[in-house]
Amino acid sequence: MQRQVVLKNCGRINPRNIKSYVHEGGFAALQKARERMKPGDVIGEVAASGLLGRGGAGFPCGRKWELARNNPEEEKYVVCNADEGEVGTFKDRYILEHDPFTLIEALAIACYAVGAPKAFIYLRAEYRFLFPLVSGAIGQAGDRGFLKEMDIELREGAGAYICGEESALIHSIEGLRGESRYKPPFPVDGGLWGKPTVVNNVETLMNIPAIVANGSGWFREIGTEKSKGTKVFSVSGDVEKPGVYELELGSPLSELVAELAAARNVKMVQVGGATGRILPATMLDTPLAYEGVLGSGAVTVYDESRDVIDIMRRNTEFLAEESCGKCTPCRDGTEAMLEILERLAGGDGEENDIRILQELGRVMTASSLCGLGQAAAVPLLDTLEHFRREYETRIEQSLFLRSIPGFKA
Ligand SMILES: Cc1cc2nc3c(=O)[nH]c(=O)nc-3n(C[C@H](O)[C@H](O)[C@H](O)COP(=O)(O)O)c2cc1C
């Protein structure tokens, strides 16, 4: 079911003028938090709401804030992850473009709750055009006195997918090379400059003012038992109505893909970007929820005209290009997968290719350093399960053609 919690101000307020946001009740939640709630009460409310991270990993937001709050270090930071480098994801861009003020209010509430005087918004390089809009909104909030005893700084990325991963993002803000690092320590213990740092996705934060204003009970009414609230999706690919949609968590994938985005002759859907799951058309009743499929909210639809092997080749090419190269399983594993997929796509498959791809996938998942390598094989393994016959046929064709004397691929 469509329901607007995160996007409720998009199209209603003027993103360039704070007055229209205040007119719609903006900053009332921040005022309530600061005047009528202790930091621990705010965290308690966020924890009770059941809000889980919307950036892909689904970590409980209140728990993250609590861990940072309880850390005895005095210097703490809050970071808004607006890197959005995930393939097919453009919902955070839409949010920032249409409602930067809710995000600023959320960051101010987060800083108050966690005890951090400084927040960063890490904006991907390709969203440079949003820099004036967002910094203008921060300036207006500051001028109106909403950012007292705190400061929000905008930082621009340099265009790397891996910099959306929280430890690589932290390195990037520190001016270091954008590479992930071993965890623990997690950012709440040792984040920016080794200090406790809360990293939250744009959409996660967008829920905060409404939770503080309406209470956790209101939020818990929306969604399923394990997945509270709504989710914003970016839908693209073979659909008549691509765009940004917000649905109650637990809604079936078919509602988003077939009803709202008007997809026809669906062959498969990738949910969650380049490392996201692949579902065949027979699984469109899967719920969009943490207990179903979700990821970052990128939904890419492929119709019957698409070649699964070629889609996986392109997907893996992206991952191999974007692997930071720090750990061997991801760096060499994505290259090895790509080599096989390029051969398969070019009609030069070998008998053992499927087995090797599956083994590679298992090793990468088990031994890579961060989420990129750990999930890089997910879509490929899904297609090997649901579209295995297409791989087998391609290999059989290659073997047959090579058996013809004098034939060259
Ligand atoms: C390769 C990779 C890219 C990621 N890109 C993003 C991103 O663009 N935005 C984001 O919020 N989280 C991204 N994440 C997840 C972050 O590491 C982190 O879990 C998230 O920012 C935490 O915020 P949340 O708890 O509010 O979801 C990425 C993870 C990986 C492994």
Position in ligand 1 atom list of the atom nearest CA 89: 8
Q: Whose CA is nearest to atom 5 of ligand 1?
A: 164
Ligand 1 atom, smallest distance to 168 CA: 17
230-303 under CATH 3.10.20.600, yes or no: yes
Count other C-beta atoms under 10 Å from residue 399's C-beta.
12
So what's the pLDDT on residue 400? 94
Q: Which pLDDT score, from 0 to 100, does residue 56 have?
A: 92
Cα 198 to ligand 1 centroid, rounded to whole Å: 12
Pocket residue to mutate for ligand 1, from 165, 200, 231, most atoms within 8 A of Cβ? 165
Burial of 282 by CB count in 10 Å (0-12 exposed, 13-18 middle, 19+ buried)?
A: exposed
From atom 30 of ligand 1, which residue's Cα is the shortest distance away? 165
The response to whether residue 57 sits with its C-beta less than 6 Å from ligand 1 reads yes
- In this structure, the residue with its CA closest to atom 10 of ligand 1 is 55
What region does 176 belong to: left with phi over 0, alpha with psi -120 to 50, or beta? beta
pLDDT at residue number 231: 98
Rounded Cα–Cα distance for residues 167 and 199 (Å): 9
CA nearest ligand 1 atom 29, residue: 165
Q: For residues 233 and 297, is the Cβ–Cβ distance under 8 A? A: yes
250 Cβ below 6 A of ligand 1 = no
Task: Read off the tokens for 267.
Answer: 């062959």
Specify the residue for token string 């919902």.
91
Q: Indicate the pairing of strand 298-303 with strand 277-280.
A: unpaired
Residue of 59, 35, 61 lying closest to 49 (CA atoms): 61
Instruction: Report pTM.
Output: 0.97
* CA 204 to ligand 1: nearest atom: 26
Ligand 1 atom with minimal separation from the 164 CA? 5
The per-residue pLDDT for 89 is 95
Nearest CA to ligand 1 atom 17: 165
In 3D space, the residue among 10, 48, 42, 15 whose CA is nearest the CA of residue 29 turns out to be: 42
Give the per-residue pLDDT at 407.
79
As given in the structure block, the two tokens for residue 399 are 């073997």
Q: How far apart are the first and last CA of the chain?
A: 51
Ligand 1 proximity of 59 Cβ (cutoff 6 Å): yes
Fold of 308-403: de novo design (two linked rop proteins) (1.20.1440)
Cβ proximity of 247 and 255 under 8 Å: yes
How many whole angstroms separate alpha carbon 245 and alpha carbon 280? 21
Closest atom of ligand 1 to CA, residue 85:
8
Is 371's C-beta closer than 6 angstroms to any atom of ligand 1?
yes
How high is the mean pLDDT in each 10-residue block of the chain (409 residues)? 95 98 98 98 98 96 98 97 95 98 98 98 96 98 95 94 97 96 94 98 98 98 98 98 98 98 98 97 98 94 98 98 96 98 96 97 97 97 98 96 84
Residue with the smallest CA separation from ligand 1 atom 24 is: 53
Atom 23 (ligand 1) nearest CA: 200
Q: Residue 55 CA: which ligand 1 atom is closest?
A: 27
User: Which atom of ligand 1 is least distant from the CA of 61?
Assistant: 25
What is the residue type of 240?
Answer: E
Tell me, what's the pLDDT at 409? 63
For ligand 1, whether the C-beta of 204 sits within 6 Å is yes
Q: Measured in whole angstroms, how far is the alpha carbon of residue 299 from the centre of its chain? A: 11
The response to whether residue 157 sits with its C-beta less than 6 Å from ligand 1 reads no
**375 CA closest ligand 1 atom index:** 31
Question: Would the CB of 323 count as within 6 Å of ligand 1?
Answer: no
Q: Is 156 helix (H, G, I), strand (E, B) or coil?
A: strand
Q: 57 alpha carbon to ligand 1 midpoint, in Å?
A: 7
Residue 6 near residue 207 (C-beta atoms within 8 A):
yes
Q: Domain ranges for the chain, please list them.
A: 18-220, 230-303, 308-403
Please return the burial class of 271, using the count of CB atoms within 10 Å of its CB with bins 0-12, 13-18 and 19+.
buried
Most ligand 1 atoms within 8 A of CB, residue of 86, 334, 370 to mutate: 86
- Which 8-state DSSP code applies to residue 319? H
- Regarding the beta carbon of 199 and ligand 1, being less than 6 Å apart is answered yes
Cα gap 207→201, rounded to integer Å: 11
Which CATH number applies to 18-220? 3.40.50.11540
Kindly state if the Cβ of 273 falls inside 6 Å of ligand 1: no
Residues written for the chain: 409
Q: Among the atoms of ligand 1, which is closest to the Cα of residue 180?
A: 31
Ligand 1 neighbour 86 (Cβ under 6 A): yes
